[in-house]
Amino acid sequence: MFAIEYYIGLILIGIVAGFASGLLGVGGGFLIVPFQYFLLKYIGLSSDLAMLISLGTSLAIIIPTASSGAYKHAQKLDNIIEPGIKLGIFGIIGSFCGGFVASMLPSNILEIIFGVLLLFIAIRNIISKDKKENKAKFDFNFITIMLTGLFVGFFSGLLGIGGGIFLIVILTMLLGFPMIRAIGTSSVFISLTAIGGTISYIISGWGVNTFPFSLGYVSIINFILIACFSVPLAQIGAKYAHKLPEKRLKQVFGFVVLYIALKMLGILP
């Protein structure tokens, strides 16, 4: 049905996004969304349909991918499951709402929002100083858990990402989490949050999406091929996350996100 290079592209997305998910605790959506979008446009889909399929399918892929990375992190960290679940409960609600809002927005608006937010996060991580301790500016209580979960969850559903790129910044900069614990907690959060967004994209795209073999805006072909490679690669990425120094993780995280931001904003070809 599709050219062979399309399937090869999906496999490559799974490999790269899976490794990044485990290494950086970000779910891989910030790679899965733009790469799928470019690939779907390459085979002739309209921008609006390509964007919505990329967003919905990305969230579906993130569920098993992030869960794989979270499992690996939980083997080495014993303080990530509880905060991840608490945040994830509110994240599911926010992601569900964000998914429906995305289905009503034009693709160029989503591209700009996606690019600007990624650009901000990339710059903050690249220029961040190497501190021995992270001082919490706010307590990790019910209010901060609820607000953080809803806020990050909403943008997760809106942009088809796990939300880790936002959550890690909040956990490290505002709530005083060490980077490696923030990455582990984020992996748990993402695996839950993506559920709400996936459901909303299935519902909003039901009977509307004309792309073959899809559930709403979730492409079954894309899901299977990408997930088959992203799930095992997430565990490998998580393994390496525990071997790299915190400052280096922040720099890698920042530069990768910077590249995607410039690509989505059209600054890079």
Chain mean pLDDT for the chain? 85
Model confidence at 25, in pLDDT bands (50, 70, 90)?
A: low
Q: What is the mean pLDDT of residues 36-58?
A: 92
Is 269 domain-assigned?
no
- Give pLDDT, residue 27: 65
Query: What is the residue whose two structure tokens read 């492409």?
Result: 219
| Whole-number Å distance between alpha carbons of 185 and 238 | 12
- Give pLDDT, residue 115: 80
Domain count, the chain: 1
**With the CA atoms of 262, 157, 249 and 9 taken in that order, what torsion angle do they form, in degrees rounded to the nearest 10?**
-60
- Give pLDDT, residue 90: 96
Is 206 domain-assigned?
yes
- Give pLDDT, residue 26: 66
Query: What is the residue whose two structure tokens read 């996004």?
Result: 17
**With the CA atoms of 168, 174, 179 and 184 taken in that order, what torsion angle do they form, in degrees rounded to the nearest 10?**
-50
Query: What is the residue whose two structure tokens read 């390459």?
Result: 42
pLDDT, tens digit (0-9, with 9 covering 90-100), for 218-247: 999 999 999 999 888 888 887 887 777 766
- Give pLDDT, residue 255: 82
155 three-state secondary structure: helix
Selected residue with higher pLDDT from 246 and 28? 28
Q: What is the mean pLDDT of residues 132-151?
A: 86
| Whole-number Å distance between alpha carbons of 158 and 156 | 6
Does 71 score more than 60 pLDDT?
Answer: yes
Is 183 domain-assigned?
yes
- Give pLDDT, residue 108: 80
Phi-psi region for residue 136, left (φ > 0), alpha (ψ -120 to 50) or beta?
beta
Query: Taking Cα atoms as reference points, which of 111, 117, 109, 113 lies closest to residue 34?
Result: 111
Is 159 domain-assigned?
yes
What backbone torsions phi and psi does residue 3 show, to the nearest 5 degrees? -65, 155
Q: What is the mean pLDDT of residues 252-268?
A: 77
Q: Are 99 and 196 in contact (CB under 8 A)?
A: yes
| Whole-number Å distance between alpha carbons of 9 and 11 | 5
- 215, β-bridge pairs: 218
Residue 226: give the domain boundaries.
4-264
Model confidence at 31, in pLDDT bands (50, 70, 90)?
A: confident
- Give pLDDT, residue 246: 62
From first CA to last CA, the distance across the chain in angstroms is 28
Q: What is the mean pLDDT of residues 13-37?
A: 81
- Give pLDDT, residue 129: 60
Radius of gyration of the chain (CA): 17
- Give pLDDT, residue 117: 74
Q: What is the mean pLDDT of residues 49-65?
A: 91
| Whole-number Å distance between alpha carbons of 137 and 158 | 27
Is 204 domain-assigned?
yes
Q: Are 241 and 27 in contact (CB under 8 A)?
A: no
Q: Are 145 and 87 in contact (CB under 8 A)?
A: yes
Total Cβ atoms within 10 A of residue 66: 33
**Token pair belonging to 11:** 């496999």
Distance of CA 240 to the CA centre of its chain: 19
Selected residue with higher pLDDT from 269 and 39? 39
Q: What is the mean pLDDT of residues 136-142?
A: 89
Q: Which helix (H) or strand (E) holds 160?
A: none
Does 59 score more than 70 pLDDT?
Answer: yes
pLDDT, tens digit (0-9, with 9 covering 90-100), for 152-206: 999 888 888 778 778 988 998 899 898 888 888 998 999 999 999 999 999 999 9
Q: What is the mean pLDDT of residues 122-137?
A: 68
- Alpha-carbon dihedral sign for residues 183, 135, 245, 75: negative
Q: What is the mean pLDDT of residues 112-129?
A: 75
Model confidence at 131, in pLDDT bands (50, 70, 90)?
A: low
Selected residue with higher pLDDT from 263 and 98? 98
